[in-house]
Amino acid sequence: MSYFGKFYLLGPDAGKAADWLFSADVSRPPGSTVYTCMLNHRGGTESDLTVSRLAPGPQASPLAPAFEGDGYYLAVGGAVAQHNWSHITTVLQDQKFRCRLVDSSEDLGMISIQGPASRAVLQEVLDTDLGNEAFPFSTHKLVRAAGHLVRAMRLSFVGELGWELHVPRASCVPVYRALMAAGARHGLINAGYRAIDSLSIEKGYRHWHADLRPDDSPLEAGLAFTCKLKSPVPFLGREALEQQRAAGLRRRLVCFTVEEGGLHGTCPHPAGSAQGFHVRKVPMFGLEAIWRDGQVVGHTRRAGFGFAVDKTIAYGYVRDPHGGPVSLDFVKSGDYALERMGVTYAARAHLKSPFDPDNKRVKGLY
């Protein structure tokens, strides 16, 4: 996953800048990694990313730049790296923070090893204890992989036990080869982006550009846990979120699964039938209409197939057609269907991910 953007936020005011830029509390000890959002003044989501706190050091390298003050390592989706860069630099200039943003995207590769055997594979390659106590979730450390210095992060975008390795460019190929050699005994295979899409939608992890956009707030998207609203620390977009919370959310991102049973009667002009194929596997890709109790209440943002639950999964924002706040009771009480090409299919709304809702797998509990 080397296409990811990799930035360093460094300098005397980097801590103040991080407090203002990031919706979550990233003022944790060095070695911690936090999933957070960046917002605009309207409370819309400009980005979601991971922020890792660094310890200062005198030796400069691609993995550990020299700095004074505070330092953070930011990992952002590759297709939106430039958008993140522009947003951060604009905020730094507007607020006149004394810090610098360094783009190391071309200097570092990234390899993500995910799944129940990831610890066994990596333990043969890394020179550190990967147990839960020695290496907890959402932490990072510098370690050696097949003799090469890398930054290992215990993170997952697919809802499994796993780590990311952030690797200096010259070390990427030998580290990758060492991983594949160690993984051969455990069934390690290469996986592409469609696999990531399927796994992430099944687990309920958000995609910026689809589930999250600059006009979607983290409260609407079910990411309130990324917002430090219980702390007194100001951050960009906080006032808008507080006003939104006080007034009540006018829409919510909801997970849907296409249920067995097929054709649904809510669409006034069905243009076909579900006959001739397995309804649970009807392909959906996003932009399908969401029906609730005979009324259109939104459209899906993205959709895919969940192979563990063996159903089509879709996410979309639901509104009250009467204009009122959308409560959790409103979401739970409706009778839903998703319309694809004029045909509607019975759907079930979920308030939590339909797969591993207790998040046991990222803890290594299978």
> Could you tell me if 180 and 262 lie in one domain?
no
Within a domain: 237: no
> Could you tell me if 271 and 348 lie in one domain?
yes
> Could you tell me if 113 and 196 lie in one domain?
yes
> Could you tell me if 185 and 271 lie in one domain?
no
> Could you tell me if 166 and 276 lie in one domain?
no
> Could you tell me if 287 and 189 lie in one domain?
no
Q: What is the 3-state secondary structure (H, E, C) of the chain?
A: CCCCEEEEEEECCHHHHHHHHECCCCCCCCCEEEEEEEECCCCCEEEEEEEEEECCCCCCCCCCCCCCCEEEEEEECHHHHHHHHHHHHHHHHHHCCCCEEEECCCCEEEEEEECCCHHHHHHCCECCCCCCCCCCCCEEEEEEECCEEEEEECCCCCCCCEEEEEEEHHHHHHHHHHHHHHHHHHCCCCCCHHHHHHHHHHHCCCCECCCECCCCCCCCCCCHHHCCCCCCCCCCCHHHHHHHHHHCCCEEEEEEEEEEEEECCCCCCCCCCCCCCCHHHCCCCCCCEEEECCEEEEEEEEEEEECCCCEEEEEEEEECCCCCCCCHHHHHHCCEEEEECCEEEEEEEECCCCCCCCCCHHHCCC
Q: Is the pLDDT of residue 304 over 80?
A: yes
Domain of 193 in residue numbering reads as 5-201
Residue 58, pLDDT score: 66
pLDDT digits (tens, 9 = 90+) for 120-143: 999 999 999 999 999 999 999 999
pLDDT digits (tens, 9 = 90+) for 231-286: 999 999 999 999 999 999 999 999 999 986 555 444 444 434 444 444 557 899 99
The number of folded domains in the chain is 2
Among 48-52, 59-63, 175-179, the least confident range: 59-63
> Could you tell me if 159 and 280 lie in one domain?
no
> Could you tell me if 60 and 153 lie in one domain?
yes
> Could you tell me if 150 and 281 lie in one domain?
no
> Could you tell me if 280 and 164 lie in one domain?
no
Q: What is the CATH number of the domain that holds 273?
A: 2.40.30.110
Within a domain: 212: no
pTM to 2 decimals? Answer: 0.93
> Could you tell me if 190 and 263 lie in one domain?
no
> Could you tell me if 178 and 76 lie in one domain?
yes
Residue 310, pLDDT score: 94
Residue 276, pLDDT score: 40
pLDDT digits (tens, 9 = 90+) for 3-51: 999 999 999 999 999 999 999 999 999 999 999 999 999 999 999 999 9
Q: Is the pLDDT of residue 196 over 50?
A: yes
**Mean per-residue pLDDT, 337-345:** 95
Within a domain: 233: no
